[in-house]
Structure 1
């Protein structure tokens, strides 16, 4: 995929990843140590693992993943955070539902003091990557929309490391404070982050950020183009992105107009009425492979996740595959213990 999208061999990619080593060691030593542990356990070189975690930055966002995300305020103490995650089907075998981190509740020279308040993180990841889509025991959850834009600045945080830092936070506000205090992110991407009381769309870039608040209906929706961040150079990328964004807003507002609110906002309803939608296929909310594209860039919806971020017992339902297609997998629960 690197070869096709960026004309980079794996050796080239590993060499570029070395630019991130010193910033990671300095800014997030506990996460860098975890990457070393992953490399050792997988019997790979640290630069293999760093390349995976910096893939979005190395390719300058030129991967053809198209994801559609939605947050919906259920009440003053619960948010629903959800998305279809799209990418090439060849990575299906590398997806994992990870119970992943159980933080020791004691002082440590490696683990930052702020993490003593976080008991655990559960997430959907690709093997070898330290952060992505999921939630923690404090009820903070994350979704991701890839953005194709320049510039990229390797002295800043890779986006998957930024996602991990969000999942190490106790609130939306503390996550934003952490990212800003560490100097921001290395590439332009969108993180939709929620806790039990608040959602925020983080249109992040190495040259400036914009933050999107909930609208009057308690919604934030996003796809694969920036809405307010004009600091970056963002060439046209996925023509279906604006259509998906308008469509997910329309479908959510249609449900609101019919009186759907509170506990009626269920994972099953969102899968049936929003995330199975095939309008403007193949670049639909429920994405389908476009066989006219090279196999390494044929995106389709690989999983759907709906998180219930209440302050007492955050949870999620996950379905692998294209929901509503008849070929999707069973409903899986997170956490599962």
Structure 2
């Protein structure tokens, strides 16, 4: 059964007040998400004191790079009654797991087609993560301190992830793993995605924003506008860029930019990322469909179909080793709208989408 996606709409532009509002409204879910991550960290051998110290260091980095988002995180913690470092830990969960040298099967497969002839981009991605975090999904509509309206799919307590802004820029999000990951805590990649959504109107602006963050973990932001799409592979070793080929751009969970690929930390023995990327390469016609439901159904491939783009948890495995496609997401950057289906492509239907505009809540 698919987990529901919670929704929170806010017109509050003061970061601390917006965080407190969110924390109060979704306190139980945020506390539950933080507790689940604590269990996940422990299963990977991380002591709570190490998680706390890393989270506090990450909060310091956020405070220097995006002070208003540090204020928002503090507000979320106060609103839901948790220590600030606990909420900091879920925002820095990618960095904490990278510091512990954690690898795994997932996550995520992304496709963007630029049809040309004035037609809008066609985008879709799966969001694969641990099945125990199915209840952590949250869609937020919010207004930045500068007045930018944003719709973002994220997790309870995490400031942002995938989304679209009212300037017509969208961001897809896939984790990567590089040999330069780890060490002293950097700016969390989820915070980078949120700030890109707040400030960027073009792919080049997104790149300039991301380039100012000192990172300690890797990810790829696939940034899309009406006329352009590019994968920005972020890592502590630098940023690689991947452009579409004949209007088609795909990414899974390994580096494609040659200058970073030599530092790849994920292997075919532990991840399906290489299989999924190869499978996507032959699906351009189906992924070009104007209808997001048709695009989502084009991602319906399981292990027996050659690549687990649509992942289902193996309940025989321990919970920290289980992966599932928890959501399928499409962005319409021309309509400034995000479509979210709770679950994998094999369950998507015309009526299963949650459609959320990047607009000021009324």
> Does the alignment reach a TM-score above 0.5?
yes
In the other structure, the counterpart of 2:205 is: 174
Check conservation: 1:179, 1:185, Cα contact below 8 A. Answer: no
What's the offset of the Cα at 1:327?
10
Q: Which residue of 302, 307, 316 corresponds with 1:278? A: 302
Q: Distance in 1 between matches of 2:229 and 2:110?
A: 12
In the other structure, the counterpart of 1:241 is: 273
In the other structure, the counterpart of 1:135 is: 164
Q: Distance in 2 between matches of 1:188 and 1:173?
A: 19
Q: Distance in 1 between matches of 2:338 and 2:190?
A: 20
SS at 1:293 equivalent: coil
What's the offset of the Cα at 1:209?
1.4
Check conservation: 2:128, 2:311, Cα contact below 8 A. Answer: yes
Give the TM-score of the pair, scaled to structure 2.
Answer: 0.79
In the other structure, the counterpart of 1:74 is: 115
In the other structure, the counterpart of 2:252 is: 223
Q: Distance in 1 between matches of 2:107 and 2:306?
A: 11
SS at 2:310 equivalent: coil
Pair 187,286 (structure 1): closer, same or farther in 2 beyond 3 Å? same
In the other structure, the counterpart of 1:90 is: 132
Q: Which residue of 150, 154, 157 corresponds with 2:187? A: 157
Q: Distance in 2 between matches of 1:133 and 1:235?
A: 22
1:269 has 2:269 as partner = no
Q: Distance in 2 between matches of 1:233 and 1:18?
A: 28
Which digits, 9 at most, give the CA deviation of each residue in 1:231-271, with x for residues without a partner?
6351426431111111112122x438xxxx5xx42201102
Pair 231,207 (structure 1): closer, same or farther in 2 beyond 3 Å? farther
What's the offset of the Cα at 1:21?
2.8
SS at 1:143 equivalent: strand
> Equivalent residues in 2 for 1:253-332 (5 A)?
254-255=285-286, 264-272=289-297, 274-280=298-304, 284-310=308-334, 313-325=335-347, 330-332=352-354
Q: Distance in 1 between matches of 2:350 and 2:214?
A: 37
Q: Which runs of 5 or more residues in structure 2 are unaligned?
A: 1-39
SS at 2:333 equivalent: strand
What's the offset of the Cα at 1:89?
1.4
In the other structure, the counterpart of 1:107 is: none
Equivalences, count: 311
Which digits, 9 at most, give the CA deviation of each residue in 1:267-319, with x for residues without a partner?
011022x2222254696111111344322221011010111111xx2223221
Q: Which runs of 5 or more residues in structure 1 are unaligned?
A: 104-110
What's the offset of the Cα at 1:155?
5.5
Pair 220,130 (structure 1): closer, same or farther in 2 beyond 3 Å? same
What's the offset of the Cα at 1:90?
1.1
Check conservation: 2:275, 2:306, Cα contact below 8 A. Answer: no
What's the offset of the Cα at 1:183?
3.7
Pair 282,297 (structure 1): closer, same or farther in 2 beyond 3 Å? farther
Check conservation: 1:282, 1:290, Cα contact below 8 A. Answer: no
Check conservation: 2:95, 2:185, Cα contact below 8 A. Answer: no
In the other structure, the counterpart of 1:195 is: 225
In the other structure, the counterpart of 1:26 is: 64
Q: Distance in 1 between matches of 2:184 and 2:168?
A: 31
